[in-house]
Structures are given as C-alpha cells and as structure tokens.
C-alpha cells in the first residue's frame, strides 16, 4: 500500500503555495511540520481532491486518484482543520449522516459507529448534541467520522488545534492506536503531536520539503548545536539577541536557557541532546543565531 505524490505544484497567479512536492507514503504515521503558510493545508486539500493541483499527480497503489472518483473516497478519511460540525445533531446522528455521505448502508455503518464511539471514548455522549461538546470532544468526533468505512488513508489537519494538554495526549494516543495498517498524515505546527508517534517527519517551508526522515535521524543533524546556558536575568536580552531561544527555566540561583547555536555559546553552558522542538526552532525560528 502506497500513496505517491509526484511533482505537485499549486499556484495562485504569481504566488506558489506548493512547489514540486514529491513523496511516497506507506503504512504508519507521518507528520507534516512547518509554520503557518508552509503549504500544509494546501497539500492536504490536494491529496483529498478538494483542490486541483496546477501540475503533478497523486497516486494510490499506482492509480491516479483523480481517475478513481468514488473508489478513492471510500478509502479516504479526512479531518479538516475547521470544526465544520452540526451543533443540533447528536453524536450518533452525526456519524450516521457522515456514513450516508460516504455511501455506507445503515446496516454496515451501525457496527462501525458503535466501535468508533467507544474507540474515541464518547460512549457517554452519544445522544448529546454536538453544540454542547468541548473542543476536544468535537475533535474526537471528527476523528471518528474520518475513520468511517475503515479507510486506508487518513488525513488529519491540525487535529489538536486549541486543545488543552490532556486532550492533546488523548488524541495523540488515539492516532497511534489506529495507524498500524493505515497511512495517517498529520499536518501540524505543534511538535508534541508527532514527536513520539511519527514514522517520518516532513519539514515544510514556503511550499517545499526542506528535510524529511525519522525523527531521531533528523534530530541527529543538529547534534552539537543545542546548549543550555546558565544565566541570570541581566543576560537574557543579550542571549535572545545572539541565539535562537527554546525553553527557559529557573531555580533559586540561576536561569537556564536552552538555545540553538552553530558554535558553542560564549557563556557558561552544557551541550544538550536535540529533540524535535529544537529541530523546529533550528529550521523555522526567525531569531538570531551566531
């Protein structure tokens, strides 16, 4: 099973939203990581056939998806970034409605809906109106509808946007649980969404892939460039001016500033093992780095 993107480009007049994008996805979780405007949502909409590319192709198992029509929609699950949800529908009614839109018979949809409601841990809210759901509950309802029909390809666009840490963890674990035999592509700018569950991460900037690979392999590329400076308050402005700054913590005596730098900082510091958040700062933070 593979989803192959070949030379995908999307232009709006003189503006290029996606530039010559090439990648092959197989079963597992993939993270599309980049700042707002990187082209993530454009790519998602092209894969789901909600947007036509200016050039290039999307193929599933060698067949161009634009020629598959309903056959591709049957194997595709999509959770959009916007919570386009029906506030007066109960959860159960919403899922039956979405199943009907996917062409599923009610008899076939019923056991799947039962399973999915339990999987997303909303069994106590099945007869409650969606308008009364919390943000996290709505996100879980949207993930459930994306999984109707047992799709082989699932696209999640910013699945944890606006959620508290507890809901983020719950949704992250849910995604890891469903990805065993599916292609799951998550577009996000929240590093923690994908750091521990992604098979591969694609770093996007201005519509292009600037790097890709397994998270630990990507992080190795900035080994020796991450440091923790021991500082006091009077040093913070200078440190921020010289380096890309990550986490800042403090104890009774000192302030500890995690920075990204091509050379060892000219302050008391220790080297740190890079993580995906450091990698994000390295590629996307516009702050100083010397």
What is 169-222 written as a DSSP string? HHHHHHHHHH-TTSEEEEEES-GGGTTTT-SEEEEEETTEEEEEE-HHHHHHTT
- Give CA–CA dist 264/229, Å, rounded: 10
Question: With bands split at pLDDT 50, 70 and 90, how would you rate the model's confidence at 287?
Answer: low
Please give the pLDDT value at position 36. 86
C-alpha span between 70 and 73 (Å, rounded): 5
User: What's the average model confidence in pLDDT over 220-242?
Assistant: 96
Which of the two residues, 193 and 222, has the higher pLDDT score? 222
* Backbone angles phi and psi of 50, in degrees to 5: -85, -10
pLDDT for the residue numbered 290: 47
- pLDDT above 90: percentage of residues in the chain: 75
Which of 114-118, 150-154, 179-183, 270-274 shows the lowest mean pLDDT across its residues? 179-183
Q: Is residue 286 scored above 80 in pLDDT?
A: no
If pLDDT is split at 50, 70 and 90, which confidence band does 171 have? Answer: confident
Q: What is the mean pLDDT of residues 244-261?
A: 95
2: left (phi over 0), alpha (psi -120 to 50) or beta: beta
Buried-state track 218-230, b at ≥16 Cβ within 10 A, e below 16:
bbeebeebbbbbe
Instruction: Report the percentage of the chain scoring pLDDT > 70.
Output: 97
The pLDDT of residue 114 is 97
Q: Residue 133's pLDDT band (boundaries 50, 70, 90)? A: very high
Q: Is 103 left (phi over 0), alpha (psi -120 to 50) or beta?
A: left
Interatomic CA distance for residues 247 and 94, integer angstroms: 41
């Amino acid at each position: 099973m593979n989803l192959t993107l070949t030379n995908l480009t999307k232009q709006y007049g003189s503006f290029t939203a996606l530039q010559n994008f090439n990648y092959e996805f197989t079963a597992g979780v993939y993270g599309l990581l980049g700042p707002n405007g990187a082209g993530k949502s454009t790519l998602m909409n092209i894969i789901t056939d909600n947007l036509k590319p200016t050039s290039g192709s999307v193929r599933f198992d060698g067949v161009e998806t634009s020629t598959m029509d309903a056959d591709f929609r049957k194997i595709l699950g999509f959770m959009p970034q916007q919570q386009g949800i029906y506030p007066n529908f109960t959860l159960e009614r919403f899922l039956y409605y979405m199943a009907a839109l996917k062409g599923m018979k009610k008899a076939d949809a019923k056991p799947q809906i039962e399973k999915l409601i339990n999987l997303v841990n909303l069994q106590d809210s099945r007869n409650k109106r969606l308008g009364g759901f919390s943000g996290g509950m709505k996100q879980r309802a949207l993930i459930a509808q994306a999984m109707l029909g047992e799709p082989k390809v699932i696209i999640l666009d910013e699945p944890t946007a606006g959620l508290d840490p507890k809901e983020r963890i719950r949704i992250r674990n849910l995604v890891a649980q469903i990805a065993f035999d599916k292609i799951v592509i998550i577009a996000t700018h929240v590093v923690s969404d994908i750091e521990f569950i992604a098979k591969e991460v694609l770093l996007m900037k201005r519509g292009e892939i600037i790097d890709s690979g397994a998270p630990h392999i990507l992080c190795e590329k900035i080994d020796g460039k991450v440091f923790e400076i021991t500082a006091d308050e009077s040093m913070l402005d200078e440190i921020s001016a010289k380096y890309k700054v990550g986490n800042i913590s403090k104890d009774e005596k000192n302030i500890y500033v995690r920075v990204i730098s091509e050379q060892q900082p000219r302050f008391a510091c220790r080297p740190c093992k890079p993580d995906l958040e450091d990698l994000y700062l390295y590629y996307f933070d516009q702050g100083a780095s010397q």
